[in-house]
Amino acid sequence: MNKFFGILFQVLFLSPFVLFILFSSLDHLTSLRKLVFLALITILLFFGIAQPKFYKIRPEKDDSLTIIIVMIGAILTYSLQNYVNLNPILSAGLIGTLATLIDKRIQLKLSISLPIYCGAFVGMTNPNIHFPFWIIGLNGLIAGILFYYSKSFYGGIGGKLGTIAFASVLAGLFIFKWFTNDLYF
């Protein structure tokens, strides 16, 4: 059963990237060479990144609070951009620094600096797009779930938080476009 959930999670984690590659190159798929390239990229994404310890997903029950912490980091960073007019990098850095200081000062059972910084990556969404806050909260929720379940794998691979943020924002954008009937295939 763990192997099934591991495969399902990997498919859900990597499918936004494959969809992005597919839809961004849909106009230019005129030759067989480009189709083979797209197929190879898809195969590498789905099968080339898996690690042997990937199928051993056993998150701890008391760590489920990290999902909410990631969501809080996303909403705080996006709020700093909209209401204080800070740029995305400065607002994410400020939220990450504050989370680290709080983490060092108050010895909590659960470390909050990494989940909040993951949410800060999600909150770096361009404020000129004017997403409603429920979409940023949904993106943070998706990122929190991905962060929670990816704790036991992809360790030591750089860019894990940015990858989680990209996948969650892409999934949230897809959901937003779906509900506003602005999604065209």
User: Is residue 126 a part of any domain in this protein?
Assistant: yes
Closest alpha carbon to 148 in 164, 133, 124, 135: 164
Quick one: average pLDDT of 39-51? 63
User: Is residue 36 a part of any domain in this protein?
Assistant: yes
Residues 28 and 69 in one domain: no
Residues 98 and 172 in one domain: yes
Residues 10 and 90 in one domain: no
- Cβ atoms of 149 and 103 closer than 8 Å: no
Residues 46 and 123 in one domain: no
Domain endpoint, select from 13, 37, 55: 55
Give the list of residues 6+ apart from residue 89 with CB closer than 8 angstroms, or none: 124
Tally the domains of the chain: 2
In this prediction, residue 110 carries a pLDDT of 77
Quick one: average pLDDT of 164-179? 84
Of 37-46, 117-126, 170-179, highest mean pLDDT: 117-126
User: Is residue 184 a part of any domain in this protein?
Assistant: no
In this prediction, residue 140 carries a pLDDT of 94
In this prediction, residue 175 carries a pLDDT of 83
Residues 49 and 75 in one domain: no
Question: 91 falls in which pLDDT band (50, 70, 90)?
Answer: very high
Residues 35 and 90 in one domain: no
User: Is residue 35 a part of any domain in this protein?
Assistant: yes
Q: What is the mean pLDDT of the chain?
A: 78
Residues 83 and 174 in one domain: yes
The structure's pTM equals: 0.71
Quick one: average pLDDT of 100-117? 84
Q: Indicate if the pLDDT at residue 184 is higher than 80.
A: no
- Cβ atoms of 168 and 135 closer than 8 Å: no
Q: Is the dihedral of CA 20, 23, 24, 26 positive or negative?
A: positive
Residues 12 and 96 in one domain: no
Domain that holds residue 75: 61-179
Closest alpha carbon to 163 in 174, 150, 177: 150
- Return d(Cα 183, Cα 185) in angstroms, integer: 7
Residues 49 and 87 in one domain: no
Please indicate whether residue 97 or residue 12 has the higher confidence score (pLDDT). Answer: 97
Residues 47 and 68 in one domain: no
Q: Indicate if the pLDDT at residue 105 is higher than 80.
A: yes
Of 13-17, 37-41, 116-120, 131-135, highest mean pLDDT: 116-120
Main-chain dihedrals φ then ψ at residue 181, nearest 5 degrees: 55, 40
Instruction: Write out pLDDT tens, residues 111-168.
Output: 888 899 999 999 998 878 777 888 899 999 999 988 887 776 666 667 788 888 888 8
